[in-house]
Amino acid sequence: MSKQVSTKAIPVEQRLIFALDVADVDAARALVEKLDGIVHFYKIGLELFMSGRGFELLDWLVARDLKVFLDLKFFDVPATVAAAVRQVAGRGATFATVHGNQAIMEAAAANKGQTLKILAVTALTSLDRGDLDDMGFACDAEALVLSRARRALEAGCDGVVSSGLEIQALRRQISHELLVVSPGIRPVDNRPEDDQKRVVSPTRAFASGADYIVAGRPIRDAADPAAAAAAIQNEIAGVFA
Identify whether 34 is a catalytic site residue: no
pLDDT above 70 for 74: yes
pLDDT tier, 123 (very low <50, low <70, confident <90, very high otherwise): low
* 196, 125 Cβ separation under 8 angstroms: yes
Rounded mean pLDDT, 77-81: 97
* 146, 121 Cβ separation under 8 angstroms: no
CA distance to 56, 77, 109, 232, per residue, from 5 (Å): 36, 37, 26, 17
pLDDT tier, 128 (very low <50, low <70, confident <90, very high otherwise): low
Q: Looking at residue 145, what is its pLDDT?
A: 80
Q: Looking at residue 140, what is its pLDDT?
A: 61
Rounded mean pLDDT, 101-106: 94
Cα 152 from Cα 178, distance rounded (Å):
9
Q: Looking at residue 113, what is its pLDDT?
A: 96
pLDDT in tens, 156-205: 999 999 888 888 989 998 888 899 999 988 875 444 444 455 468 999 99
DSSP for the chain reads: --TTS--S---GGGSEEEE--SSSHHHHHHHHHHTTTT--EEEEEHHHHTTTTHHHHHHHHHHTT-EEEEEEEE-S-HHHHHHHHHHHTTSS-SEEEE-S-HHHHHHHHHT-TTT-EEEEE-S-TT--HHHHHHTT--S-HHHHHHHHHHHHHHHT--EEE--GGGHHHHHHHS-TTSEEEE--B-SSPPPTT-S--S-B-HHHHHHHT-SEEEE-HHHHTSSSHHHHHHHHHHHHHHHH-
Rounded mean pLDDT, 219-225: 96
Output the average pLDDT for the chain.
Answer: 88
Identify the CA nearest to 175 among candidates 207, 144, 152, 142.
152
pLDDT above 80 for 99: yes
pLDDT in tens, 3-35: 589 999 999 999 999 999 999 999 999 999 999
Cα 118 from Cα 120, distance rounded (Å):
7
Q: Looking at residue 3, what is its pLDDT?
A: 59
Q: Looking at residue 130, what is its pLDDT?
A: 52
Task: For the chain, list the domains and their CATH numbers.
Answer: 12-240 (3.20.20.70)
Which is the catalytic residue, given 3, 8, 34, 73? 73
Cα 149 from Cα 130, distance rounded (Å):
21
**How many residues can be counted in the chain?**
241
CA distance to 36, 184, 191, per residue, from 227 (Å): 12, 19, 21
Percent of the chain exceeding pLDDT 70 equals 86
- pTM for this one? 0.89
CA distance to 8, 11, 56, 150, per residue, from 60 (Å): 28, 22, 6, 35
